[in-house]
Structure 1
Amino acid sequence: MITITEFSVDKIRDPFGIVAGDRYEFRLELDIEEDDELYSESGVYVRVIFRVDGEESRMVKYELHERGSDRYLDFDLEEEEEKQIEAFCREHYSEWEE
């Protein structure tokens, strides 16, 4: 299980209306235990693209990065962790500020 310690969310602009629905970009700071393969002394964050189209919402993609260096980490989250992050995004996407 992961712990989200901080987050930011921004709405992705689509001035031409090419993509249906709205997209949001999240940056979720994670607290990861030392014995986890994702652990980094610098810390880890996940960048999430989240889609909302009417009543439907879902995580489109995510990327894990090392905090500080922004180095991409080639790992996949466990299914339960993905569901946790998707639920978090669903709950918080409306908190973006213009």
Structure 2
Amino acid sequence: MLTITGFSVEQVKDPFGILPGERYEFLLDIDVPEDDELHSEQGLYIRVVYTVGEERTGIVKYDIFERTTEKYLEFDLEDEELEAVDAFCREHWKEAGNE
């Protein structure tokens, strides 16, 4: 199971109105146990696009990257990890600096 150790969040403008509601981009620093196949000595972070709206609130997309190399990793989070990331984003999206 991953642990979120730090984060940043910002509101992303959608000039074309592709998605209803507001969009936010999270960068979540994560720690993964050494025995997990996702573990990397380089450190990891997850880039999450999160939407908040009347019809839908939740993760639109996420990508996992190695911290020092910025290498994209083709891994999917397990269901409970995805639920934990979604809950974290739901709790923290209001912390984005609105311009």
Q: Check whether TM > 0.5.
A: yes
Given residue 40 of structure 1, which amino acid in structure 2 is its aligned partner? S
Matching of residues 40-79 of structure 1 within 5 Å: 40-54=40-54, 56-79=56-79
Q: Among the aligned pairs, what percent are the same residue?
A: 54
**Does structure 1 residue 6 correspond to structure 2 residue 1?**
no
RMSD: 1.3
* Paired residue type of 2:31: D
- SS of structure 1 residue aligned to 2:50: strand
TM-score relative to the length of structure 2:
0.92
The Cα shift of 1:20 comes to 1.2
Match of 2:24 in 1: 24
Aligned-residue offset at 1:54: 2.6
Equivalent residues, number = 98
Secondary structure in structure 2 of the residue aligned to 1:90? helix
CA–CA separation in structure 1 for the residues paired with 2:18 and 2:31: 36
Corresponding residue for residue 83 of structure 2: 83
**TM-score, length-normalised on structure 1?**
0.93
Rounded Cα–Cα distance in structure 1 between residues aligned with 2:18 and 2:38: 35
What SS is found at the alignment partner of 1:94?
A: helix
